[in-house]
Structure formats: C-alpha cells, structure tokens
C-alpha cells in the first residue's frame, strides 16, 4: 500500500530531518509511529498524506509514484486517506455533525445517505449530545474526537493519526484505540503517531521508531 | 464494524445505545460562509463600473443613431450653386439649372432658392434689409434624391454645367465623410472607456478574491485534507462572487437605465440653454430606443459574468499557492 525507498526530507536549505527512510506499510496493517519530540513524526505523516514532497527518494502510494501525480490525482488519493492532526483543523462555522460529514459532502453524497452513519459515529465517540455545537465551544478532547470521527467516517484505506489520544482521559483513550482497532479489522491500514507508551502497551502492534532522522522498525 | 466498500452498513455498532428516533433532515451550513467574503465593497465597485459602462454605451448608441439620421438626411440631398458670371443672366441660368436637375432620373423634388430666400440665409451674418442685387451672391438649388437610388452625379453635373456654365453640384460627400469620422471617433472612445472599465473591474475583483481566499485559508486547507479538488473548492467561492457580480451589475445597470429613462425630462430642464441646445443637436431627442435598454441589460449581465470569470481565474491561481 505504501512504499518508501531512501526517502530524505529537508525544509529549505536546513539539515535533513528525515534520512534514508525505507519501509513498507502493508494493507490491513496496524503500526505505531513513535520517537522523541522533534524526531520528525509529523513530517513523516505529512509525507504519507502528500502534503509534503520528499527532497529525495521514492514514495509510492496505492501503487502510484507520488512524484508523477497531478493535483487532481493527489486529491483523489487523499479521499482514500483519513488524517487526524494535532491541531484538529475543524471548521469553526460548522457544527460538529457538519464537520464530521464534510468528507461525504466533498464526495457529493446526499445528506440523507450518510445522516444515520454520522450520528451513530458521533454517539460512539461520545459526542451524541454535542452534534449541533460549534467547535469554538467544544473542549480540547471533544475537538479531538470530532477530528477522529471526520477522519474515519468515510472508511479510508489508510488512516494517519497524530497524537490522537493526547487530549482525552485514559478511559476515552482506550475507547478511541478500540475504534482504530475495529477500523483496522475492517480493512484500514492504521498509522498512529504517539509517544504515549501506555497507549502503545495496550495493543500489540508493529512499532516504527524515529530517532535522529532515521527509522527503526520493531515487528 | 463493517468492511470497506460496504457503504450501507453502519461504521460502528451502537447496540442498545442506538437511538430509536429517526434522524431529522438537517439544513447544512455553506462550506464557505457568505459573511466571510466582504462583498459590500465589491458590489459597490461593480455597480459603479456597470453604471459607467452603461452610460458610455448608451451615449455611443445615441450618438450613432443621431449620426445615422443626419447622414441619411444629408445624403438624400444634393445642392447646386449658380454663381454670377459676367455676360450671363443669373436668373435664367438658375432656372435652366433647376430644369436640368428636374429632368435627371432619381431626383424627386427640386427647390430653387429665390433672392429673398438667399437674403434670409445670409441674414445672420449680414443683417436684415440687405439688397442682394449689390452682392455677387450665388443662387442655391436644393434637390431631393429618391431614397435607395444611385444618382449618376457625373451626368447631372454635365447636364447642369451645359445650361449654366458657372454652376457647381455638391452631393455633401465631404460632410458625410466628416460625420462618419466623428461617429467613428465617438464609438472608438466609447469602446476604449468600456475596455478600461472592464479592466478596472477585473483588477478590483481579483483583489477581492485574493482577500476572500486569504480570510478563508483554513477552510481551503481542511477541504484539501478531506480530498476536495481545486474545482470543488473554487466552485464554493465562485457562487458567492457570481452573486456579488450580478448584484452589482443589476444595481449599476438599473441606475443607468433609470437615468436614460428620465433623460428626456432632464433634457427638457436644460432646453433653451446653450448646453441643452448643443446636446439636442448632438444627441437628438436624448431618448434611448427599447433595443438600447436590451443592450444595457445584456451588458450588466456580462459584467456580472466577467466578475465571476475574473474571480475563478484568481481562485485557481491562489489555490496553487495554498497547495
């Protein structure tokens, strides 16, 4: 599904922050991406999400060399990827329900065709009573759950999550991890970037460890 | 949890938690909120530009119509002048020339100006009580040509000069040419002003679009995250700008049409004044025909569409930058 070969990344003329990354993310796989703060976890997720292009090396996503893709093809590929960012990126003028339903609107689906699905997921993540609330009045944890719900609602083939349980209590963190595991069992490859050891200890999965710009894989 | 591709099965199974009440249809907020695009200034700019463009077009239409009227009037007339010549009888020559003109095929009416008529024509310059016999004043004969006929001017000239050697025939071609150049210059100036107005509109719209895109950058980024293509994002903005453009076009075009509608009344306020007389001479009755109003309506619509087009162009360029 994802193949990196000797990938390097630098910002501008600065030093290379990711060096010689070569790895595979198979379909239906589950992995934690970890490493100390500033190790480049978010940059690697952005490479996987095609919002950054590598300085060197080959990135192959869903069988396509990303360096050859046009803007429309990138947009099509992104429809197959869900992403949860640390800053949530919810739209403040839309309700929680509308934020979560956004991927379906972009796909051009009728509201009636996904209404039940969105409401069920919002209840699952504990936002059943906050469906009509606007993001500015949601707590950090609620925003995070809304962002997760938006990322998984369209059942992407690849889910990327950057510190997805950083703002929630341990009980809710376990519930969200269960959501990711369920999503993985239904066929989605999952990459969770975290430095939360407790979270990683709750589920036996492959670990990709970034250290000083290099990647070490523990199967 | 269901498998990927099984779109109708629920993503999560709530079990007993599933609510029994069916979900109500929701009114979804627009993806790009209308309030986030500061449209009032843009509507004002487009309205002013449309008003200026409409006034220009209307004036060009009026001048062209008046000029066409003058041209058709002037080109349907020819004038013969019989000059006094030593040893010849001016009266007899004038009568013979008039007779020769009457005999020319295509001429429907001949009106020789008498001595008194000539004195009256010269009155503004020479004053009243003029004794025309003391002056070598030529005699003028005006003939009306049947509309749609091509007059054989060479034959007429030769026929008239045969009977009155001092006569000359003028078909006003020089005047018509000058009239044509004046109308052409007016139309050209009108088109130049229109072009400037359109360019100014495009520039204003581009600035407004860039401003709107900058204000809504977070929305654009999120839309990119959820896989929206540039066309999808641009269309969300475009509908706002098309609406703003049409609103501005309607206000500006409507105001211009009202101005032309009341122009006859306005012209009557100035009638009798030198300015009013000049305008009446240049623009005739100052009333725009129904086809003129149609042209103004189409132009207002066109400016609305140009606004949307300019916005779309800027949208795609800005989306490239954001990506």
| DSSP for B33-85, written as a single string | -GGGS-HHHHHHHHHHHHHHHHHHHHHHHHHHHHHHHHHHHHHTEEEEEE---
Contact A79 B227 (CB under 8 A): yes
Report how far residue B146's alpha carbon sits from residue A6's, in angstroms, rounded to the nearest whole number.
Answer: 92
> Given strand A158-162, what is the order of strands in its sheet?
A81-84, A158-162, A189-193, A30-34, A206-211, A214-218
Pair B127, B61 in one domain: no
Q: What pLDDT, in 10s, does the model give residues A104-149?
A: 999 999 998 999 999 999 998 889 999 999 999 998 889 989 999 9
Report how far residue B279's alpha carbon sits from residue B271's, in angstroms, rounded to the nearest whole number.
Answer: 9
Confidence at residue B2, expressed as pLDDT on a 0 to 100 scale:
43
Which of B133, B165, B197 is a domain's end point? Answer: B165
Q: Is A30 on the interface with B (CB under 8 A)?
A: no
- Closest-approach residue (CA) in chain A for B10: A117
Report how far residue A111's alpha carbon sits from residue A114's, in angstroms, rounded to the nearest whole number.
Answer: 6
Which of B138, B165, B192 is a domain's end point? Answer: B165
Confidence at residue B210, expressed as pLDDT on a 0 to 100 scale:
82
Q: Between B320 and A213, whose confidence is greater? A: A213
* Domain that includes residue A214, residue range: 2-218
Give the CB-side neighbour count of residue B284, counting CA atoms within 13 A: 16
Residue B7 falls inside a structural domain: no
Q: Is A173 on the interface with B (CB under 8 A)?
A: no
Interface test with B, best of A106, A108, A110, A122 (most B CBs within 10 A): A106
Q: What pLDDT, in 10s, does the model give residues B195-234?
A: 898 888 888 888 888 888 888 888 888 998 888 988 899 8
Interface test with A, best of B11, B17, B322 (most A CBs within 10 A): B11
Is the per-residue pLDDT at A69 higher than 80?
A: yes
Report how far residue A52's alpha carbon sits from residue A59's, in angstroms, rounded to the nearest whole number.
Answer: 11
Q: Cβ distance A89 to A83 under 8 Å?
A: no
Total tally of structural domains belonging to chain B: 2
Total tally of structural domains belonging to chain A: 1
Pair B212, B105 in one domain: no
pLDDT-derived band at B5, boundaries 50, 70, 90: very low
Report how far residue A80's alpha carbon sits from residue A155's, in angstroms, rounded to the nearest whole number.
Answer: 8
State phi, psi for B277 to the nearest 5 degrees. -65, -40
The answer to ipTM > 0.90 is no
Residue B289 falls inside a structural domain: yes
Pair B266, B192 in one domain: yes
| Burial profile B185-210: b = 16 or more Cβ within 10 angstroms, e = fewer | ebeeebeebbeebbeebbebbbebbb
Residue B59 falls inside a structural domain: yes
Pair B232, B187 in one domain: yes
Q: Cβ distance A83 to A192 under 8 Å?
A: no
| Burial profile A104-122: b = 16 or more Cβ within 10 angstroms, e = fewer | bbbeeeebeebbebbbbbb
Pair B207, B290 in one domain: yes
Q: Roughly what angle, to the nearest 10 degrees, separates helices A111-124 and A140-152? A: 130
3-class SS of residue A6: strand
Pair B190, B285 in one domain: yes
Look up the pTM and report it. 0.69
Which of B142, B165, B188 is a domain's end point? Answer: B165
**Where do we find the tokens 């993985």?**
A184
Of B11, B26, B228, nearest to A75 by CB-CB distance is B228
Q: What pLDDT, in 10s, does the model give residues B256-270?
A: 999 888 876 777 777
Confidence at residue A151, expressed as pLDDT on a 0 to 100 scale:
93
DSSP conformational letter for A16: E
Size of interface A-B (CB pairs under 8 A): 108
Summary mean pLDDT of chain B: 81
3-class SS of residue A24: strand
Q: What pLDDT, in 10s, does the model give residues B22-80?
A: 556 677 888 888 777 766 788 888 899 899 999 989 888 888 887 777 777 777 788 88
**Closest by CA position to A160, among listed A85, A68, A71:** A85
Q: Cβ distance B98 to B112 under 8 Å?
A: yes
CB count in 10 Å sphere of residue B123:
12
Residue B219 falls inside a structural domain: yes
Confidence at residue B4, expressed as pLDDT on a 0 to 100 scale:
41
Look up the CATH number of the domain holding residue A61: 3.40.50.300
Pair B195, B110 in one domain: no
Q: What pLDDT, in 10s, does the model give residues B103-139?
A: 888 888 888 888 788 878 777 777 777 677 777 888 8
Residue B27 falls inside a structural domain: no
Confidence at residue B119, expressed as pLDDT on a 0 to 100 scale:
79
Instruction: Name every chain B residue with its beta carbon within 8 A of the beta carbon of A72.
Output: 229-230
Report how far residue B110's alpha carbon sits from residue A170's, in angstroms, rounded to the nearest whole number.
Answer: 111
Interface test with A, best of B2, B226, B230, B235 (most A CBs within 10 A): B226
Contact B226 A152 (CB under 8 A): no
Instruction: Name every chain A residue with its beta carbon within 8 A of the beta carbon of B25.
Output: 111-112, 115
pLDDT-derived band at B9, boundaries 50, 70, 90: low
Give the CB-side neighbour count of residue A197, counting CA atoms within 13 A: 1
Report how far residue A2's alpha carbon sits from residue A25's, in angstroms, rounded to the nearest whole number.
Answer: 5
Q: What's the Cα-to-Cα distance from B187 to each of A11, B7, B20, B56, B201, rounded to whole Å? A: 57, 63, 72, 9, 21
Pair B308, B205 in one domain: yes
Q: Is A53 on the interface with B (CB under 8 A)?
A: no
Residue B1 falls inside a structural domain: no
B126 Cα distance to chain centroid: 42
Instruction: Name every chain A residue with its beta carbon within 8 A of the beta carbon of B20.
Output: none
Q: What's the Cα-to-Cα distance from A62 to each of A7, A53, A76, A208, B199, rounded to whole Å? A: 17, 16, 11, 20, 46
Summary mean pLDDT of chain A: 91
pLDDT-derived band at A10, boundaries 50, 70, 90: very high
Is the per-residue pLDDT at B275 higher than 90?
A: no
Pair B223, B318 in one domain: yes
Residue B23 falls inside a structural domain: no
Pair B225, B156 in one domain: no
Section A67-80 average pLDDT: 89
Pair B188, B119 in one domain: no
Q: Cβ distance B169 to B153 under 8 Å?
A: yes
Percentage of chain A beyond pLDDT 70 is 100
Residue B187 falls inside a structural domain: yes
* Domain that includes residue B98, residue range: 84-165
Section A70-82 average pLDDT: 90
Section A173-193 average pLDDT: 89
In the stretch 73-132 of chain A, residues with CB closer than 8 A to chain B read 75-81, 83, 85, 89-91, 93-95, 97-98, 101-103, 105-107, 111-112, 115-117, 119-121, 123-124, 128
Pair B284, B314 in one domain: yes
């Amino acid at each position: 599904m994802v193949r990196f070969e000797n990938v390097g990344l630098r910002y501008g003329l600065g030093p290379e922050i990711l060096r010689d990354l070569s790895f595979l993310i198979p379909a239906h796989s589950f992995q934690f991406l970890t490493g100390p703060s500033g190790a480049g976890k978010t940059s690697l997720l952005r490479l996987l999400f095609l919002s950054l292009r590598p300085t060197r090396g080959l990135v192959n996503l869903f069988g396509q060399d990303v360096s050859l893709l046009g803007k429309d093809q990138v947009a099509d590929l992104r429809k197959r990827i869900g992403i949860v960012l640390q800053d949530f990126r919810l739209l403040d003028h839309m309700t929680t329900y509308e934020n979560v339903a956004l991927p379906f609107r972009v796909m051009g689906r009728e509201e009636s065709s996904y209404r039940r699905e969105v409401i069920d997921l919002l209840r699952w993540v504990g936002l059943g009573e906050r469906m009509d609330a606007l993001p500015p009045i949601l707590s950090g944890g609620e925003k995070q759950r809304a962002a997760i719900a938006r990322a998984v609602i369209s059942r992407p083939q690849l889910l990327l999550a950057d510190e997805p349980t950083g703002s929630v209590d341990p009980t809710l963190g376990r519930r969200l991890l269960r959501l990711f595991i369920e999503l993985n069992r239904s066929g989605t490859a999952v990459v969770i970037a975290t430095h939360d050891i407790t979270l990683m200890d709750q589920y036996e999965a492959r670990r990709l460890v970034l250290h000083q710009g290099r990647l070490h894989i523990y199967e | 949890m269901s498998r990927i591709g099984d779109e109708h099965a629920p993503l999560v199974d709530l079990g007993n938690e599933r609510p029994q009440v069916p979900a109500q249809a929701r009114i979804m907020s627009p993806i790009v909120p209308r309030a986030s695009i500061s449209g009032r200034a843009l509507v004002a700019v487009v309205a002013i530009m449309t008003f200026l463009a409409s006034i220009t077009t209307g004036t060009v239409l009026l001048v062209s119509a008046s000029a066409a009227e003058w041209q058709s009037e002037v080109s349907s007339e020819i004038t013969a002048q019989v000059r006094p010549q030593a040893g010849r009888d001016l009266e007899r020559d004038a009568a013979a020339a008039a007779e020769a003109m009457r005999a020319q095929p295509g001429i429907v009416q001949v009106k020789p100006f008498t001595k008194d008529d000539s004195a009256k024509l010269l009155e503004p310059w020479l004053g009243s009580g003029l004794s025309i016999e003391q002056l070598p004043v030529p005699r003028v004969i005006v003939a009306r040509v049947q509309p749609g006929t091509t007059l054989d001017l060479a034959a007429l000239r030769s026929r008239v000069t045969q009977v009155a050697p001092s006569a000359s025939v003028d078909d006003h071609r020089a005047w018509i040419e000058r009239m044509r150049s004046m109308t052409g210059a007016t139309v050209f100036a009108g088109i130049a002003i229109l072009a400037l107005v359109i360019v100014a509109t495009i520039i204003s719209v581009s600035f407004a679009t860039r401003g709107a895109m900058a204000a809504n950058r977070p929305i654009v980024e999120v839309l990119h995250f959820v896989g929206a293509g540039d066309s999808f994002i641009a269309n969300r903005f475009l509908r706002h700008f098309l609406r703003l453009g049409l609103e501005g076009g309607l206000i500006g075009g409507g105001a211009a049409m009202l101005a032309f509608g009341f122009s006859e009344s306005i012209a009557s306020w100035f009638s009798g004044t030198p300015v009013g007389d000049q305008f009446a001479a240049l623009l005739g009755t100052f009333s725009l025909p129904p086809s003129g109003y149609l042209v103004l309506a189409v132009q207002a619509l066109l400016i609305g569409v140009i606004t949307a087009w300019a916005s779309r162009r800027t949208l795609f360029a800005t989306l490239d930058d954001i990506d």
